[in-house]
Amino acid sequence: MELFAQGIIKAFELLITFDAEVLGITWLSLKISGTATLMSLFIGVSIGTTVALNDFIGKRVVISIINTGMGLPPVVVGLFVTMMIWRSGPFGFLEILYTPYAMIIAQAIIATPIVMGISLAAIQNLPPNLRLQVLSLGASRLQMVWVLVKESRLPLLAAVMAGFGGVISEVGASIMVGGNIKGYSRVLTTATVMETGKGNFDIAIALSIILLLLAFLINFMLTQIQQRQRPR
């Protein structure tokens, strides 16, 4: 118990004193996971909506693949991205291995199927004739898609929360492609793993609490928006 108490005290200490390293790590975590979530939102909603609104051969297989992707193991993504951007890999020329960019790519790959799967389900859950109703009022295809996406904003916010929650808390891929370089690619999860490995439980607990607080604050904000939009 003493270990936990020490950890909590340390966390407050780090927070109250605005520890430069912790603030830097927290800010980088937010930047990387936020950017990855935004990317996944753009790609996931576009593909999810396209799949939901079109009938084609093999649609069920595609949906199954997307749903499987929602549980993509981060280490597998880490391995895949590492190999792709490895010096001799197909995108080695980009020279982004062990950089925040590589972490954003890996995290976006993890979050995209989550956002895609939820937005696909959200669009499919709209009344079947709504699409025709909007078109019959003179909407272009783009206008129709925009109306449907707007109409699915509640589940889409849930998709953002799920996507962000998935990437801010993942560690496997971030360590593999980011390298946990101090002051450059070290984020809350990778720092927590490192401090635990070194036996610095107090700092590890402190970082975990900050991570939890961060995840809570972001989700709290999104929940506020979501619930304000809910029909009463």
Site for another protein, rule CB under 8 A: 127, 129-130, 132-140, 143, 147, 150-151, 229, 231-232
CB of 132 to another protein, least distance (A): 5
What's CA 76's distance to the chain center, in Å?
A: 16
CB 162 within 8 A of CB 47: no
Cβ closest to another protein, residue 54 vs residue 88:
54
CB of 156 to another protein, least distance (A): 12
- Cβ neighbours, 10 Å, residue 77: 22
CB of 136 to another protein, least distance (A): 4
- Helix, strand or coil, per DSSP, at residue 137: coil
Burial of residue 107 (number of CB atoms within 10 Å: 0-12, 13-18, 19+): buried
Name the residue among 172, 210, 229 with its Cα closest to residue 26.
210
CB of 149 to another protein, least distance (A): 12
Cβ closest to another protein, residue 138 vs residue 197:
138
CB of 161 to another protein, least distance (A): 19
Cβ closest to another protein, residue 53 vs residue 194:
53
Cβ closest to another protein, residue 127 vs residue 199:
127
CB of 69 to another protein, least distance (A): 29
Q: Which two tokens stand for residue 127?
A: 């009344």
The tokens 């389900």 sit on which residue?
Answer: 121
Helices (H), the chain: 2-16, 20-53, 59-69, 74-85, 100-124, 130-136, 141-151, 153-168, 172-178, 188-197, 201-229
CA distance 49 to 232: 26
Name the residue among 168, 162, 147 with its Cα closest to residue 214.
168
Cβ closest to another protein, residue 84 vs residue 134:
134
